Amino acid sequence: MRVSVIGCGYLGAVHAAAMADLGHEVIAVDVDAEKVAALSTGTPPFFEPGLPEILSSSLASGRLRFTTDIAEVAGCELHFIAVGTPQSDDSGAADIRFVDAAVDALLPNLGPEDVVVGKSTVPVGTAQRLAEKLLSAGSSATLVWNPEFLREGFAVKDTLSPDRLVFGVADGVGQDRALAAVREVYAAAIASGTPVVETDLATAELVKTAANAFLATKISFINAMSEIAEATGANVTELADAIGYDTRIGRRFLNAGVGFGGGCLPKDIRAFSARAEELGLGSSVAFLGEVDAINLRQRQRVIDRVISDGGGDPVDLKVAVLGLAFKPQSDDVRDSPALDVARGLAQAGALVTAYDPEAMGPAQKRFPELKVASTLQQALLDADIAVLVTEWPEFVQLDPRTAGDLMAHKRIVDARNVLDPAAWRAAGFHYSSLGRP
Ligand code: UDX
């Protein structure tokens, strides 16, 4: 099929490359000429395993092109909207200006049987408004809402073989044709057994919001348990294992630690709360405020723990911060708990040296005074205490004896509960984590 993708950020760039990899003819559009130039040479502006490979092969095959000129989408049958919906202000509401701008820019280039496919995460009600916008502009193109559930670090895999596909469409003329078109564009995934949920526009929008709210709640639930475990001498990891064996609960997303971050979960729960307030239903999702508060409290708990384990006085305490990305296999530092911990310690007067295999450049853009080391070993050198905040494999596999030989004092705070306490203690370390004795 001939498809366009509007927006070449994280979601759009991966989606465009994946669609081309599946054999479609793809034209991807972004207003940022620098981004378009980089992507055109096969260089993604962010780290994502597997993306450079499918980008290069799709560019070489001629099936994928990037442009700043929206008029080039004319003639495509399907147009994916993959622009960002950042947090707009302190209310937490999503800023959907880019979605509206994308639809406005598309309108003059749409054919009568085209299908516009919304992938951006939007407040419920947006899709209906966009469908009306198409109609009132005299377009007979149909809107389908097809939320994206990709995880950073697994974005290519999640796009090519998603857990499920959701297609929301309004009843009416064009509905059947639009559904047939999205089924065709995702034919490979559907043929290999991916479940499909066909529904209305509002449900499709809410599926994404509800899924992220549920995941965030699961993480904050276990982090709340980590506080209780800590006060009572219980072990939150064993607790998670035990409740996770209940298939109704499940073990995934029950890892206690410094909490969730990134470009999606924190922003999406705040946008959901803001939208619920607008609907007069703030109390229905009031618990999400608590989910957010528990999550932010974990960051402060880690900062406090580093200071107390480091002897109580943060001033001139040499801290090695291991990790800056919001999670491993990513260079994303948006709302990163790791970066907040580094910043909080530095603001308290500690001498912070951070190391991350991929995210030091992006971190320094947001926090220019941050001192970084070029290797893990350099970060540890002469440190009074280390804190593991992103569970990169090279940190998880770190040999405590090697670390101990480099550091001034053998102390470590494991803010992701991924190290073996017995091994670190046997190497002479003062080891502590969140919710494990
Ligand atoms: C998330 C959703 O998983 C994805 O479906 C959606 O499309 C976008 O948001 P992502 O932000 O890439 O994806 O990361 P994810 O793997 O979900 O992790 C989010 C955060 O939760 C990370 O900071 C991670 O470290 C943290 N986390 C995850 C925990 O603290 N504990 C866990 O058990 C799992």
CATH code reported for the domain at 221-292? 1.10.1040.10
**Which residue has the CA at smallest separation from atom 17 of ligand 1?**
151
Q: Cα 158 to chain center, whole Å?
A: 13
In ligand 1, the atom with minimum distance to the C-alpha of 262 is: 11
Please list, residue by residue across 126-158, b when 16 or more beta carbons sit within 10 angstroms of its beta carbon and e when fewer do: bbbebbeebeeeebebbbbbbbbbbebbebbeb
Residue extent(s) of CATH 3.40.50.720 domains in the chain: 2-199, 297-433
To the nearest 10°, the Cα dihedral for 336, 337, 341, 342? -20
264 is catalytic: yes
- Taking the C-alpha atoms of residue 201 and residue 196, their distance in angstroms, rounded to an integer, is 15
ipTM of the complex: 0.98
183 CA from centroid of ligand 1 (Å):
28
- The pTM assigned to this predicted structure is 0.96
CATH superfamily placement of domain 2-199: NAD(P)-binding Rossmann-like Domain (3.40.50.720)
In ligand 1, the atom with minimum distance to the C-alpha of 151 is: 12
The strand order across the sheet containing 351-355 reads 351-355, 318-322, 385-388, 411-414, 430-433
In ligand 1, the atom with minimum distance to the C-alpha of 212 is: 2
Q: Is 60 exposed, middle or buried (0-12, 13-18, 19+ CB in 10 A)?
A: exposed
Q: Which of these CATH numbers, 1.10.260.40, 3.20.20.70, 3.40.50.720, 3.30.70.2190, describes 297-433?
A: 3.40.50.720
Residue in 286, 162, 265, 175 with CA at minimum distance from that of residue 213: 265
**Which residue has the CA at smallest separation from atom 10 of ligand 1?**
151
If one residue of 260, 291, 295, 331 were mutated to test the ligand 1 pocket, choosing by the most ligand atoms within 8 A of its CB, it would be: 260
* Helix (H) / strand (E) containing 347: helix 337-347
Angle at the Cα of 292 (from 290 to 297), degrees rounded to 5? 90
Residue extent(s) of CATH 1.10.1040.10 domains in the chain: 221-292
Task: Please report, in tens digits, the pLDDT of each residue of the chain (437 residues total).
Answer: 999 999 999 999 999 999 999 999 999 999 999 999 999 999 999 999 999 999 999 999 999 999 999 999 999 999 999 999 999 877 899 999 999 999 999 999 999 999 999 999 999 999 999 999 999 999 999 999 999 999 999 999 999 999 999 999 999 989 999 999 999 999 999 999 999 999 999 999 999 999 999 999 999 999 999 999 999 999 999 999 999 999 999 999 999 999 999 999 999 999 999 999 999 999 999 999 999 999 999 999 999 999 999 999 999 999 999 999 999 999 999 999 999 999 999 999 999 999 999 999 999 999 999 999 999 999 999 999 999 999 999 999 999 999 999 999 999 999 999 999 999 999 999 999 999 98
Determine which one of 131, 264, 324, 412 is catalytic: 264
